[in-house]
Amino acid sequence: MKKIKLLLLVVMSSVLVACGDDGNKDDPKYVAKSFVEALVRSDSKKVLDLIYIPPKMQAAIDKDPKVEYTVKEIISVMIVEFSLKVEHGGGLKEIAAGEPEYNDDKNKATVLIMINLKKDYEGPYDIDLIKTDDGWKVVNW
């Protein structure tokens, strides 16, 4: 039970993101925008690929299929919630991403995202990212 609570805490605080295709994983602006696009498309695989999962959490996921299932379910719920917002806003019109703001070491960045819907807008959202060996990953939004 402690593992599941820890998992929920990490996943919810990490609020999902990382770069899953062969696009520009070295550009936090690209990764942040790709994350939001994946949410809009309800692409849970892409969302999961774009999220930073700390090594200890990844080890727990790799070790226990129940933990992996729980993570995927949490992501699915977040995607449905976001998709409903987009649907109620009349659908997606445009996703605009600002320039990244880096920390001094340039290993963390924040990207401002605006989501323009046909009837409304969502945001702005600050998407926090971290640079990993696999490129930039979303840690919070």
Structural domain boundaries of the chain? 2-140
- The CB-side HSE value for 13 (13 A sphere, CA atoms) comes to 8
The span from the CA of 92 to the CA of 55, in Å, is 34
The span from the CA of 108 to the CA of 114, in Å, is 20
What tens digit of pLDDT does each residue of 78-108 get?
999 988 889 999 999 999 999 999 999 999 9
Residue 113 CA, chain-centre distance (Å), reads 12
Mean pLDDT by 10 residues, the chain (141 residues): 43 39 80 94 92 92 92 90 90 93 97 91 88 95 79
The span from the CA of 8 to the CA of 70, in Å, is 8
Q: How far is CA 109 from CA 29, 56, 137, in A?
A: 9, 22, 10
Q: Which CATH class is domain 2-140?
A: alpha beta
Beta strands in the chain (DSSP E): 92-97, 101-102, 108-117, 121-132, 135-140
